[in-house]
Structure 1
Amino acid sequence: MKTSYGTLSETINGLKKEGYDLDFNIQEQCIVCHQTNTALSPEDFEIDRAYRFEGESDPDDESVLYAISSPKYNVKGLLVNGYGIYSDDASAALVEKLQQHHE
């Protein structure tokens, strides 16, 4: 896995070519993939890599892209989230797992 692909969209495209083809979203106690109807709790997935991006013109336009895999469910995908901004409904365990990968 490359350490840098360039922009957020270039990185998403590069990771999709490496098999990270699902889209994950944060939902309360877990991350979910609506494409496969899969819900992964923090112990069910690994964060293989995290990429940080800052907006060129707006410092508030910052995001983190997570490359996520789950051998248990045999899935690989991506989660995009803002720096330090997590769903109010996200569990403490989920937020902690995501935060430890971009400190």
Structure 2
Amino acid sequence: METTRQFHYGTVLEAITILREQGYGHDFTVYDGKLKADGRFFCPDELEITDVYRYEGDTDPADEAIVFALSAQCGLKGILVAGYGADTDGSGQLIAQLHYRYLRP
């Protein structure tokens, strides 16, 4: 079983860039109660969270985001960037249903 990484990237863009280099080449979006990537739809039980990076804005709550590295059972790997606070796109409910592959510290 994989364990959580012990580092944190300075910005959302840096996290996305490094995750892309690690093979997380697709972008996940929330669409109609499911997660969508590469033209396919995934239910929460088809995905695992393999990494999470949380960012808090210094002064603006709109700068708050969480970067999720996701792996699908079919082998597809991608990234979901979600805001936290107000759940306007329904991603919070979906994310709560995802399974973590790594052990939390």
Q: TM-score range by the shorter chain?
A: 0.7 to 0.9
Aligned to 1:97: 97
Which one scores higher on RCO, CA 8 angstroms, separation ≥ 6? 2
> Normalised by the size of structure 1, how large is the TM-score?
0.77
Please give the per-residue CA displacement for 1:24-61, whole angstroms capped at 9, x wherever unaligned. Answer: 0011321001xx21111000000111111112342332
Shift of the 90–83 alpha-carbon distance from structure 1 to 2, 3 Å rule, reads closer
Correspondence 1:15-94 to 2 at 5 A? 15-33=19-37, 36-70=38-72, 72-87=73-88, 92=93, 94=94
> Normalised by the size of structure 2, how large is the TM-score?
0.75
Cα RMSD between the aligned structures?
2.4
2:77 counterpart SS class: strand
Listed as ranges, the gaps of 5+ residues in structure 2 are 101-105
Give me the whole-angstrom Cα distance separating, in 1, the residues matched to 2:6 and 2:22. Answer: 10
Runs of 4+ displaced beyond 6 Å: none
Give me the whole-angstrom Cα distance separating, in 1, the residues matched to 2:91 and 2:63. Answer: 21
Give me the whole-angstrom Cα distance separating, in 1, the residues matched to 2:81 and 2:14. Answer: 13
Corresponding residue pairs, total: 95
Listed as ranges, the gaps of 5+ residues in structure 1 are none
Following superposition, the deviation at residue 87 of structure 1 comes to 4.1
The share of aligned pairs that are identical, in percent, is 35
